[in-house]
């Protein structure tokens, strides 16, 4: 009298429906977050690989200079006449148009 009847749960046909929102969220994350970030990282790697002597660059620390030497892991930047500093390649953030340093 006081105990209700226990019925069996519905069949497994409903299980895939419960995963549908998670699949939709993953697809949205892929197209809105992961894919653009991978594309930007690929462009950054290509830019760093293409660095050559004479390019004007800005680093992540805000240093602007002209590339004087490129090695495997480091880049020599001329930040002032006769003043060259060595920075790691991965800190180069932006390749600037020619003549940018003179206009500063």
Q: What is the pLDDT of residues 11-57, one digit of tens each?
A: 665 677 788 889 999 999 999 999 999 999 999 999 999 999 999 99
Residue 2 has pLDDT above 80, yes or no: no
User: Which structural domain, as residue segments, surrounds residue 27?
Assistant: 9-50
Whether residues 101 and 73 fall in one domain: yes
User: Cα(63)–Cα(43) distance, rounded to whole angstroms?
Assistant: 21
Whether residues 41 and 62 fall in one domain: no
Whether residues 63 and 95 fall in one domain: yes
**pTM for this model (two decimals):** 0.71
Confidence of residue 94 (pLDDT cuts 50, 70, 90): very high
- Per the CB < 8 A criterion, the answer to whether 84 and 68 are in contact is yes
Residue 8 has pLDDT above 80, yes or no: no
- Per the CB < 8 A criterion, the answer to whether 77 and 57 are in contact is yes
Predicted confidence (pLDDT) per residue in 33-44, tens digit = 999 999 999 999
């Amino acid at each position: 009298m006081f105990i209700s009847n226990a019925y069996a749960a519905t069949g497994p046909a409903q299980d895939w429906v419960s995963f549908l929102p998670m699949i939709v969220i993953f697809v949205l994350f892929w197209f809105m977050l992961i894919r653009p970030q991978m594309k930007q990282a690929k462009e950054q790697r290509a830019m760093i690989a293409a660095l050559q002597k004479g390019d004007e660059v800005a680093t992540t620390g805000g240093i602007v200079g002209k590339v004087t030497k490129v090695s495997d892991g480091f880049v020599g930047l001329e930040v002032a006449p006769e003043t060259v500093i060595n920075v790691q390649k991965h800190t180069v953030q932006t390749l600037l148009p020619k003549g940018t340093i003179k206009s500063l």
